[in-house]
Structure 1
Amino acid sequence: MRHTPLARADLDGVAVKPLEHDLARVADLDAPLVNVDYEGREAFPDGDTLRDLAAHTRLSVTTPVRADGFDPLGDDSLLPLPDGVERVLVAGNPAYLTDAERERAVAPRLGAARETAPEAWVGTEGVERLAMAAGGPQYELLSRRTGREVRALRAAGFDGDLALYAPVVLSDEEDEILDAVGGYAARRGPVKRALPDGATTDGTAGGRAREVLSQAVRDYALVGSVAEVAKRVAELREAGVDTVVGYPARGLDEFRG
């Protein structure tokens, strides 16, 4: 395993998307941890798929507490998950929620879900204070503030687990990096405000847009050679991050080598 790019980049796990990645091939990565993202109920893996993956690795599944099937105060018909499958509790990406699901209150559902899954990671995106109040391992998105915020949490006495999600591009070619994660970085608030109106966000970007994006992809993703990514992961661990989960922005093969 130590010879794969995934291992040499010192990543603890892989985040995969059912609509983007062939889950039948994920076990071949020999990853210590796999987190399956939620992309809507129709894309949610069936029990056999989850059991097969859990037989090869530590497996967690993102479960939006507002979504039908995972709502602890309503329809929880997709629970319990198969034995050996852990949960990540999140408010849920609105893109994968119905209008009715988006209107549901997060706080009481997050609290209720934590009662039934006390060891679950809690996704902090958009609900940072609620996630911290709910307790449990915190699962954060990499940002330009991550190092500073993690150090502050540790200095304040927080001794719980801190996990981190980050898109990963194992390349030092700038066009390839921007093609893979330029659009992702461009959706982050500070980047969106800094970009010129109508700017291209992929490898064809130029001028001011390219300057902004070239910095942004390094703030919000792990990019560069395998050695460069490993160095950044080491810095995050030094700041106090326990677990780094990488999303293969250019597909599973990049992690397999």
Structure 2
Amino acid sequence: MLTSDAAERGLRAADLDAVALKPAECDVSKALELPVETVVVDYEGHEHFPDNDLLALLGAEKTLRVTTPVRADGFDPLGDDSVVRALPDDAKRVLVAGHGAYLSPEEGERAVAPRFGEAVETADDAWVGTEGIERIALATGATQFELLSGTTARDVRAMRAAGFEGEVAVYAPTVLTDDEDTVLDSVGAYAARRRPVREALPDDAPTDGTATGRAREVLSRAVRDYALVGDVGSVQEHVATLREAGVDTVVGYPARGVEAFLD
């Protein structure tokens, strides 16, 4: 399937290594049109999990990774792992604890550490999501899959200086435009959920392109900490800074929708 000239110019010039897609938001088969080698399919609940035929198709054409919550039924290495056992051979895994929104109360009570230990032993070349479980993730020695923040470059430099020789992958919502209203409409609310940003914002301030004054100043800084935004050159510079710090793989999530990566 041919990629568009615009996608080639944008994604390749921005120097992204991979794209993450959310099956609740888009047809993940669109990944076949993207000029990147690696695709990460996020987990958003069983009802949105792609069927194995689609995963096999993606895995045949791309380096495919599938986010799998180790506490969820069907993915639990110490319990029901039926979904994992049925995954196509080409589907590599991203091990995560699992967001509470996608877990039942019983699943949410399950211990994380022993499940990560077991899953890392059985999952070939797994990445481990670090959100909320940084020490457990680091202890596995597997590729660390981190969310971009304003301290990512500094944190990775510190990890490298301390002797961590494993790989580091970074996930970042990505908006390839320098139109500030579009940027804030796309990732303003995402950045505003981070505690330092939430505390800095005026009460009841809008978190999209309608923000003005102090709120707009806070959000404009924050989105550049927690996302890759701006024209292609600006994103490329940010990616280069991450690589210089020791990041191996940069994964962009199309915050304006996958079609924005294809236009």
What interval of TM-score do these two structures reach, taking the shorter chain for normalisation? over 0.9
Divergent runs of 4+, >4 A:
none
2:49 is aligned with 1:44: yes
RMSD across aligned C-alpha pairs, in angstroms? Answer: 1.2
TM-score between both structures, scaled by the size of structure 2? 0.95
Partner of 1:78: helix, strand, or coil? helix
Q: Quote how far apart the aligned CAs of 1:3 are.
A: 3.1
Q: Retained in 2: the 8 A contact 1:30–1:57?
A: no
- In the alignment, which of 166, 170, 173 is matched to residue 164 of structure 1? 170
Q: What is the distance in 1 between the residues matched to 2:262 and 2:167? A: 27
- In the alignment, which of 218, 238, 253 is matched to residue 224 of structure 2? 218
Q: Any unmatched runs of 5+ in structure 2? A: none
Q: Any unmatched runs of 5+ in structure 1? A: none
Q: Retained in 2: the 8 A contact 1:118–1:136?
A: no
2:60 is aligned with 1:55: yes
Q: Quote how far apart the aligned CAs of 1:27 are.
A: 0.4
Identity over the aligned pairs, expressed in percent? 64
Question: Corresponding residue for 1:147?
Answer: 153
Question: Corresponding residue for 2:11?
Answer: 6
Q: What is the distance in 2 between the residues matched to 1:26 and 1:33? A: 9
Partner of 1:182: helix, strand, or coil? helix
Q: What is the distance in 2 between the residues matched to 1:8 and 1:64? A: 33
TM-score between both structures, scaled by the size of structure 1? 0.97
* Matching of residues 109-124 of structure 1 within 5 Å: 109-124=115-130
Question: Corresponding residue for 1:182?
Answer: 188
* Matching of residues 230-249 of structure 1 within 5 Å: 230-249=236-255
Question: Corresponding residue for 2:205?
Answer: 199
Partner of 1:219: helix, strand, or coil? helix
2:107 is aligned with 1:101: yes
Q: What is the distance in 2 between the residues matched to 1:194 and 1:74? A: 43
Q: Retained in 2: the 8 A contact 1:4–1:255?
A: no
Question: Corresponding residue for 2:83?
Answer: 78
Partner of 1:166: helix, strand, or coil? strand
Partner of 2:196: helix, strand, or coil? helix
2:60 is aligned with 1:27: no
Q: Retained in 2: the 8 A contact 1:10–1:233?
A: yes
Partner of 2:8: helix, strand, or coil? coil
Deviations 1:81-139 (A, max 9, x none): 10111000001111111111111111111111111115200000110001001221100
